Structure 1
Amino acid sequence: MPTRLTIKIHAFLERHLPERRVFLKSDTDTRFIRLRPETQLVAVIGTGLFVGWSIIATAIVLMDSIGAGNFREQAKRDQMTYRSRLDAIASERDSRAEEALAAQRRFNAALAQISDMQSELLASETRRRELETGIEVIQTTLRETMSQRDSARATLAELRKETEADGNTQLAAAIAPLQMEFLSTALAETAGERDQIRSDARSALQERDSLEMELKLMDERNNQIFRQLEEAVTVSVTPLDKMFRKAGMAPDRILEQVRRGYNGQGGPLAPLALSTRGEEPTAEELRANRILNELNQLNLYRMAAQQAPFATPVNLGQVRQTSGYGYRRDPKTGGRRLHKGSDFAGRTGTDIFATADGVVTHAGWQSGYGRLVTIRHAFGIETRYAHNSKLRVKVGQRVSRGDHIADMGNTGRSTGTHLHYEVRVNGTPVNPMTYIKAARNVF
């Protein structure tokens, strides 16, 4: 039985939505459909909901379309910016590579010049000592000749005194011819010796002046050689010192380690031997020893540079750096994770090189690294080369900087063909680009 509320609702609907009839006529019959107010309300509400849904859906589709278009445009702009940045980095990389090659040529030329100058310096030092010895011999000969002349004069004076003191006239008359003959002979010999001594003295003085002039010219040439050697050594040592400091390696400590562990051929340059007679060393000897010490330091720098990873593991002209050291979004899990090295993408089979001298401690498969090569270097440094397609070395093998150790691949936990390169110091990973950037314009 209808309630009072239902009757009121029906009356309200009757006023706004009166009952309607829809007639359906055929050839033989006529029928109608009665649309009650409730039915009309349901139809109106349904139609309104459908229209509203259509409007909202259309708006969403339009907004998605507009947003997708903007996103595509933004992606294209980002891609163009990224490509231009890559081109700029590639050109800068090429220019840096050319500068590094030029610096290496200058460095090798300076070393060759230093070697030649050192040979000339040692030869000139030997020649100077020979000239000093010749001057001493000439002065000794001159002193001996003067002494013989004085002795002859003294003998002649004694003979004269003995002749005058003798009072026997007959004996004097008998001896007189002999004395005259002896005196004449002695005087002639003395005059000849005197002339010869004068001639020898003049020759000695002329030779002394010539030797002094030659010594003066030699000193000037030695000074010039010293100056050029000092400049060449300074130009060669300064960039290496800066390179180690930029890499966070204390040069004094590194050189001391190299000096203690040195066992190669040739050895450090030996200083010039100083006088064993207690004489003070000359300024030239002290200067030469300072240059030899600096050359020895340069040699130690070169050996240390060979044992630290300052080189690049790949030819930069064939690859591009796709990821650096630091925290990033993990390409596998999507979470934030520390990336312990630098990634270089290239073609499968691209050559990978050792970045420093060392010993291979691992060459095989390792978990997410795939085919991995690990090399132990000096100073507690270790380098890792991961995701390789082929390995070219074995465990225990000693390698040098620039040796071909592996081929680039996509093994292990990897999303594409690339090299994952790590540098670890005492087991702690550090940024490999610190070493590579520090060596720019040096090698």
Structure 2
Amino acid sequence: MPARLLGRMHAAIERRLPEQRLFLRSDTETRFIRLKPVTQAVALSGMALVLAWSIVATAVLLMDSIGSGSAREQSRREQANYETRLDALSTERDKRAEEAAAAQERFAVALGQVSAMQSALLASEERRKELETGIGVIQATLRRTMTERDAARGKITELAAAASEGPALAPAGGLRGEDVTETLDFVTAALDRTATERDEMAQKALDAKDEADEIAFELKLLEQRNNEIFAQLEEAVTVSMEPLDKMFSSAGLDPEELIEKVRRGYSGLGGPLGPLAPAAIPGGDADAARAAKILEGLDRMNLYRIAVEKAPFAMPLKTSYRYTSGFGRRWGRMHEGTDLAGAHGSPILATADGTVIHAGWESGYGNLVKIRHEFGIETRYGHMSKVRVNVGQKVSRGDRIGDMGNTGRSTGTHLHYEVRVNGKAINPMTYIKAANNVF
């Protein structure tokens, strides 16, 4: 049965591809090559396979070229959007900082005004109390004088009645009446002066009360303005703090622990005038407590700013690049970083402040730079064409540490970028994406 099937197949091939002979003639003889149907079929099949493979390979190359071009365009657009957003956020941050500084100055001026008005109010209150005391003394003196005046008038009446009873008593009575009249005039003048002084003191007391009411009203208006300033400052601090907390949390860093580490490293105090901002006293002035809380928030933002410079939230490249390989398993092995392909010699930048602990050749990495940062973080930059830093050198975020190259175990010009926390490799995009929400 198989022989019959093979025979039928051979006959079908002979009908389609009859035997051919290729003659080769020379000067002395003529030879030929027999091309059997099977041979022709095999040759045609091979040619068809080669042609199909060429078409598929060409299509794959064209699709890869188109995909690479679109990826580069998308990367350029994303980079342009990232830079635009970074500029806008930087401008907004500077504006918020200026507003906070201006508000702090206004707060200081307002505190000075409140202090001055409180002093004036206390002085006015003391003056009012003195005037009230003086008025009380004057009223008591006036009552006593009026009593003496009434007694003197009664005595004058008695003397006048005694004088009218007989001529023998007239001289003596007339002499005593003159004395009483003089005394009465003196008492009346004293009473007039006392009444005038009483009226003046009463008017001064009213003026002092009006002045105290005016100062109290101005103090109330000033307190309202202070509340508005406090509210604006508190809102600005809250709005600025939330993205920073989210950024550090997204990167796997504990914000409280981070702040404490930075505070321990930047804890200098001193000066002949004592502390810049005294702590709020429990149960004391509410405005002083709010001011202390705002100052604490501004101090926390400043500590965050220092922490941002010491953690690798920045990009190691500012030129055009393309992501060629991410963090994770690749070809059965762990790829512990991110590969960014770009032009040969592109500047490679430090992503945070730190100290260079390795600058030179290392197997697999080629020319490698390692930088130790705060918080147990280390960054690595591999396959460089040129190293521009030395071991022990202090670098800041954005400093150029080398040039992009193709050294070590590499298939093309690119940067191999790693982030390690306490020796463990972490996806660098975790930090970069966390910073996209802030910068």
Check whether TM > 0.5: yes
Q: How does 1:308-347 map to 2 (within 5 A)?
A: 308-315=311-318, 317-329=319-331, 336-347=332-343
Shift of the alpha carbon at 1:308?
A: 0.7
Question: Aligned partners of 2:434, 2:210: CA distance in 1, in Å?
Answer: 60
Correspondence for 1:432: 428
> Quick one: structure 1 residues 390 and 265, their matched pair in 2 at CA, closer, same or farther if it must change by over 3 Å?
farther
Map residues 219-298 of structure 1 onto 2, 5 A cutoff. Answer: 219-263=223-267, 274=280, 280-298=283-301
Q: Match of 1:368, SS?
A: coil
CA distance in 1, matches of 2:431, 2:190: 89
Partner SS for 1:402:
coil
Letter in 2 for 1:195: D
Determine which of 114, 121, 126 is the counterpart of 2:112: 126
* TM-superposition CA deviations, 1:112-170 (whole Å, max 9, x none): 11121122112212211221221111121121122123223434544666784998978
SS at match of 1:439: helix
- Residue equivalent to 1:409: 405
- The equivalent residue for 2:22 is none
**Deviation of the 1:194 alpha carbon:** 2.3
3-state SS of paired residue (2:333): strand
Residue 319 of structure 1: how far off its partner (Å): 2.4
The one of 79, 85, 88 equivalent to 1:93 is 79
State the alpha-carbon separation in 1 of the partners of residues 270 and 421 from structure 2: 30
How big is each residue's C-alpha offset from its partner over 1:208-241, in whole Å with a ceiling of 9 and x where there is no partner?
Answer: 2322221222122112111211221111111111
1:108 equivalent in structure 2: 94
Partner of 1:393: 389
- TM-score if structure 2 supplies the norm length? 0.79
Q: What is the CA-CA distance between 1:270 and the residue it aligns to?
A: 5.9
Pair 1:200-2:204 in alignment:
yes
Inter-partner Cα distance in structure 2 for 1:131 and 1:147: 24
| Runs (5+) with no aligned partner, structure 1 | 1-45, 330-335
Contact 1:388-1:419 within 8 A present in 2 as well: yes
State the partner residue of 1:183.
187
Aligned residue for 1:351? 347
Q: Cα distance 1:367–1:183, how it changes in 2: closer, same or farther (>3 A)?
A: farther
Percent identity over the alignment is 43
Cα deviation, 1:295-316, whole Å, max 9, x if unaligned, reads 222222222111110001110x
Give the partner amino acid of 2:404. M
Structure 1 residues 274-332: Cα deviation after superposition (integer angstroms, max 9, x where no partner) = 56xxx8323323332332222222222222111110001110x4322222212224xxx
Question: In angstroms, what is the RMSD of aligned CA positions?
Answer: 3.0
Q: After superposition, where does 1:55-74 map in structure 2 within 5 Å? A: 55-74=41-60
Do the aligned partners of 2:321 and 2:342 also contact (CA within 8 Å) in 1? Answer: yes
Deviation by residue 1:242-281 (Cα, 9 ceiling, x = unmatched)? 11111111222222222233246899x9655556xxx832
Provide the C-alpha distance between the structure 1 equivalents of 2:142 and 2:129, rounded to a whole number of angstroms: 20
Match of 2:38 in 1: 52
2: CA distance, partners of 1:257 / 1:182? 86
Structure-1 separation of matches of 2:386 and 2:176: 119
Separation in 2 of the partners of 1:189 and 1:385? 98
TM-score by length of 1: 0.78
Relative distance call for 1:388 and 1:179 in structure 2 (3 A) is farther
Residues 271, 293 of structure 1: 8 Å contact kept: no
C-alpha change, 1:401 and 1:139, in structure 2 (3 Å) is: same
Structure 1 Cα separation of the partners of residues 146 and 110 of structure 2: 55
Give the total of aligned pairs: 386
User: Structure 1: how far apart are the matches of 2:214 and 2:308?
Assistant: 49
**Cα 1:54/1:422, change in 2 over 3 Å:** same
CA 1:189 to 1:374, structure 2 compared with 1: closer, same or farther past 3 Å? farther
Once the 2 structures are TM-superposed, how far is the Cα of residue 110 of structure 1 from its aligned partner?
0.7
Q: Do the aligned partners of residues 372 and 85 (structure 1) sit closer, same or farther apart at CA in structure 2, a change above 3 Å counting?
A: closer
Letter in 2 for 1:209: D
**Any residues of structure 2 matched to 1:9-24 within 5 Å, and which?**
none
Tell me the distance in 2 between the aligned counterparts of 1:274 and 1:265: 18
Which amino acid in 1 is paired with 2:116?
A: E
Matching of residues 132-143 of structure 1 within 5 Å: 132-143=118-129
